[in-house]
Amino acid sequence: MNQPGPQRVVRVLVDGLGDRVFDYALPEGVEVQRGSRVEVPLRNRRTTGTVVTLRQIGEEEEVEDTALRFIIRVLDDGSSVSPELMDLAEWAAQYYAVSVEQMLRCIVPEQVRSENHDPKIRRIVRMVRRPSEEELDKMRVRAQRQAAVICTLVATENSCATLSQLGGGRVLNVCRSLEKQGFVRLEIERVHRDPAGETEFAPTKPLTLNEEQEVALHSILEAFAAGDSKPLLLQGVTGSGKTEVYLQAAEAAVSQGKGVLILVPEISLTPQTVARFKGRFANNPGLVAILHSAMSGGERYDEWHAIHRGRARIVIGPRSALFAPIVNLGLIIVDEEHDSSYKQESAPRYHGRDLAVLRARLERAAVVLGSATPSLESIYNARRGKYRLVRMAHRVDGQRLPLTRVLDMRSEPKDKSLMGLVSNYLKRAMEQRLLRGEQCILFLNRRGFARALQCSDCGHIVTCEHCSLPLTYHITENRLICHICGYRSVVPESCPECRGRAIQLQGSGTQKVEELLKRAFPNARIQRVDADVTVRKNALRDILEAFRSHRIDILLGTQMISKGLDFPRVTLVGVLNADLGLSIPDPRAAERTFQLLTQVAGRAGRGDMEGEVIIQTYNPQAAAIQYTRRHDTDGFAENELGMRERFAFPPFSHLAVITVRSVREELASFAISTLYRRLQPLLPPSTEISEPLPAPIVKAYGQYRYQCVLKAPSARVFSQVIARQIALLSPGEDVTVTLDVDAYSFM
């Protein structure tokens, strides 16, 4: 109900309506702040939103009292957004040309915004008066089940037990009867849903640091003490002990009442990082929280609120954890900062590493970007003095980096039993390791059994009905599967085009290699790791634990096994086809190949035994492969930055991609052409825009895709111009237009 003469007005960004804001009056005695979550009336319904502005009437503009409605209530569920996160949301919305509401949805996830959540509870039965022997004897005669409950409680350490321990629902009435008699009390206890489950973590103590680690830790603590948010780029070779530096830096931050954010590039790396931090903080396991999209809604709700209320001070997760509501944030660590997984490929298309740097500046926190193969953007920033560079050039255990051999598969003898996919040299090296009880990792960044099904008579390739890509054969499902949209098809017995019978599988994926390895090494325990195997929750964690405990001899996988994993008994890493990423139409193709090969090579020789890396390639002179062989990150960066500067590619410019999608190709083509014509006279002279062209994958998810690529010294000079023109385009319901600022994918 409206109240007369409101003095204060709040502007509310209503959930689900983009950037539309509405003014509401604030009732007397109700206090809010920027970022408060509120319930408001909207037309004839109630909805929720976030306060973005507070003001007194008359300060900025005239507001008619009659037009204002009062907020219904301030939500007391602990979902308010801090001023720093509000600033982060507004900056990111402006830079990436998305709505503030979209960014706020990242900060306050659906599980928290929704009021339809059921906290997990358990009933506790606590003895408040122990019956006398006489009372217990009578109970044994008249109420044997009551006596059984009493005896169980007496035997417990604290004279209490959960209802489930006593027999669950079938003893509930028994316990209620005992409560009426004054022997027990029934209590309800809220249970924190821990994504780590019942896992026990072995306590660890800080290790003695070597000289390079000491320098790195001192640099981090120095920045932390000064509240210096200038990013520190920690370039440490694989196995140099970066994680121990992170752990000790986190300990120092927590001891001073500060919060810590640890970002990892993928969910698959979360369990290992969590195990290390939970082990180091074993005396207070609730101090470490996890946030990622693979958690259940209940787990995410409980962890988010534990962070928001300050109970959890260390947060670990992939890019979405960037927005965790950490109290008094003092330290941000971005592990494997080079990884492209930090770039979100769906709206809002932000980069987690870049926003981590911004959040550190907003909260005056120290920020560490760690990697053995830093991104060229970070190396460039370090050279210009925007970042501080700290190097860790040696492995922590004194071991040498693994010996790396490059095999030219054009002339290298190949093993026939492995259909030429593995060279004789690599097979012999694997046999030697297995005889010595050591472990091997084989890397092939292509899942499935065969990459295509092709007719040798007419050349027809079986493609996806919804995407312009060949279907990949998966032997475990005996189906052809599209790796973009997931479409599945039975394997045809004859060519769909010419009806001939000369249809056969082409190329190889991890499933095919796994089958061949089992034949070639019948006594070895072999495990494949790819997206098909790790669908089940915790599947990857279980596989890696089995490998760590040496219940697996050969681990074959895609890039899921290429980074952040530490297995002391791995002495051989084999790369089956190093060329897969080099031919992609992407200015970062060489950089990604170098990083991927260097990271997977770093899995070898991390214990007491020396390691060897064997790289099979048909393009041995490629710069990415040669610099990998020499473990020369600086040399690769020098070479690649020179090339990038000549062509004005990042980090010497910012790239953006406008993509138009439609189920009708002519509509997509017309819309991108129209947008291109409108943008040309509006863009500043420093901005280049390519002519509209079909995307490299012209059709995906049943929609045709056309693109324009923009290049400019700064993204800000074009992002808002493009966003306005997209809004004015009104292409219709059949056409979708997206803008990806600082694009990482051009496919």
Q: What is the DSSP string of 210-258?
A: -HHHHHHHHHHHHHHHHT--S-EEEEE-TTS-HHHHHHHHHHHHHHTT-
Would you say residue 355 has pLDDT above 90? yes
Q: Is 86 left (phi over 0), alpha (psi -120 to 50) or beta?
A: alpha
Task: Please state the domain count of the chain.
Answer: 5
| Strand partners for 123 | 188
- By CB atoms closer than 10 A (0-12, 13-18, 19+), residue 680 is exposed
The residue among 731, 663, 682, 675 whose CA lies nearest residue 707 is 675
Q: Within this chain, do residues 661 and 724 fall inside the same structural domain, yes or no?
A: yes
For residue 477, tell me if it sits in a domain: no
Distance CA 443, CA 561 (A): 8
3-class SS shares of the chain: helix, strand, coil, % to 5 = 35, 25, 40
Q: Within this chain, do residues 631 and 667 fall inside the same structural domain, yes or no?
A: no
For residue 489, tell me if it sits in a domain: no
Q: What is the CATH number of the domain that holds 275?
A: 3.40.50.300
Q: What's residue 59's pLDDT?
A: 47
80, 108, 136 — which closes off a domain?
A: 108
**Sole residue written with tokens 């034949």:** 519
The pLDDT of 597-621, averaged and rounded, is 90
Residue 467 and residue 697 in contact, taking contact as beta carbons nearer than 8 Å: yes
155, 190, 225 — which closes off a domain?
A: 190
For residue 421, tell me if it sits in a domain: yes
Q: Within this chain, do residues 593 and 665 fall inside the same structural domain, yes or no?
A: no
Would you say residue 83 has pLDDT above 50? yes
Tell me which residue range forms the domain holding 68: 8-108
What lies within 8 Å, CB to CB, of 630 at 6+ separation is 404
Residue 530 C-alpha from the chain's centroid = 16
Distance CA 515, CA 627 (A): 32
613, 644, 675 — which closes off a domain?
A: 644
Distance CA 87, CA 125 (A): 48
Q: Which residues of 188-206 are buried (b: 16+ CB within 10 A; e: fewer)?
A: eeeebbbbbeeeebeebee
Tokens standing for residue 720: 């808002």
Q: Within this chain, do residues 440 and 338 fall inside the same structural domain, yes or no?
A: no
Most confident of 373-387, 413-427, 552-566: 373-387
Would you say residue 635 has pLDDT above 50? yes
Q: Within this chain, do residues 152 and 254 fall inside the same structural domain, yes or no?
A: no
Q: Within this chain, do residues 164 and 80 fall inside the same structural domain, yes or no?
A: no
- By CB atoms closer than 10 A (0-12, 13-18, 19+), residue 398 is exposed
The pLDDT of 449-468, averaged and rounded, is 85
Residue 461 C-alpha from the chain's centroid = 34
Helix (H, G, I), strand (E, B) or coil at 86: helix
Would you say residue 602 has pLDDT above 80? yes
| Strand partners for 470 | 463
- For strands 45-56 and 37-42, give the pairing: antiparallel
Distance CA 658, CA 641 (A): 25
Q: What's residue 287's pLDDT?
A: 93
- For strands 184-190 and 121-127, give the pairing: antiparallel
Q: Within this chain, do residues 666 and 620 fall inside the same structural domain, yes or no?
A: no
Tokens standing for residue 655: 């790239």
Q: What's residue 515's pLDDT?
A: 92
With pLDDT > 70 as the criterion, what percentage of the chain qualifies?
96
Distance CA 458, CA 207 (A): 64
- By CB atoms closer than 10 A (0-12, 13-18, 19+), residue 237 is buried
Dihedral, 425, 427, 430, 436 alpha carbons, nearest 10: -90
Q: Within this chain, do residues 298 and 434 fall inside the same structural domain, yes or no?
A: no
For residue 475, tell me if it sits in a domain: no
For residue 481, tell me if it sits in a domain: no
Would you say residue 553 has pLDDT above 60? yes
Q: State the SS3 of 542-598.
A: HHHHHHHCCCCCEEEECHHHCCCCCCCCEEEEEECCCCCCCCCCCCCHHHHHHHHHH
Q: What's residue 6's pLDDT?
A: 45
Q: What is the CATH number of the domain that holds 666?
A: 3.30.70.600
Tokens standing for residue 633: 């990150």
pLDDT digits (tens, 9 = 90+) for 241-252: 999 999 999 999
- For strands 703-712 and 693-700, give the pairing: antiparallel
pLDDT digits (tens, 9 = 90+) for 676-734: 999 999 998 999 999 999 998 899 999 999 999 999 999 888 888 888 888 888 777 88
The pLDDT of 23-42, averaged and rounded, is 89
Q: What angle do CA 299, 305, 308 make, to 5 degrees?
A: 140
Q: What's residue 582's pLDDT?
A: 86
The CB density around residue 46, as the number of other CB atoms within 10 Å, is 10
Would you say residue 63 has pLDDT above 60? no
Q: Within this chain, do residues 519 and 660 fall inside the same structural domain, yes or no?
A: no
Q: Within this chain, do residues 639 and 665 fall inside the same structural domain, yes or no?
A: no
pLDDT digits (tens, 9 = 90+) for 532-549: 887 777 788 889 889 989
The pLDDT of 491-498, averaged and rounded, is 88
Q: Which amino acid is at 615?
A: I
Which range (28-37, 193-202, 393-402, 623-632) has the least confidence? 193-202
The pLDDT of 270-281, averaged and rounded, is 89
For residue 480, tell me if it sits in a domain: no
What lies within 8 Å, CB to CB, of 298 at 6+ separation is 111, 117, 118, 120, 193
Q: What is the DSSP string of 400-430?
A: PPPEEEEEETTTS-B-GGGTTSSBHHHHHHH
Confidence of residue 60 (pLDDT cuts 50, 70, 90): very low
The CB density around residue 175, as the number of other CB atoms within 10 Å, is 23
Residue 231 and residue 385 in contact, taking contact as beta carbons nearer than 8 Å: no
Residue 189 and residue 198 in contact, taking contact as beta carbons nearer than 8 Å: no
For residue 420, tell me if it sits in a domain: yes
Q: Within this chain, do residues 218 and 355 fall inside the same structural domain, yes or no?
A: yes
Q: What's residue 365's pLDDT?
A: 96
Q: What is the CATH number of the domain that holds 56?
A: 3.40.1440.60
The CB density around residue 582, as the number of other CB atoms within 10 Å, is 18
Q: Within this chain, do residues 660 and 574 fall inside the same structural domain, yes or no?
A: no
Confidence of residue 7 (pLDDT cuts 50, 70, 90): low
Give alpha helix (H) positions in 602-659: 623-629, 633-647
For residue 476, tell me if it sits in a domain: no
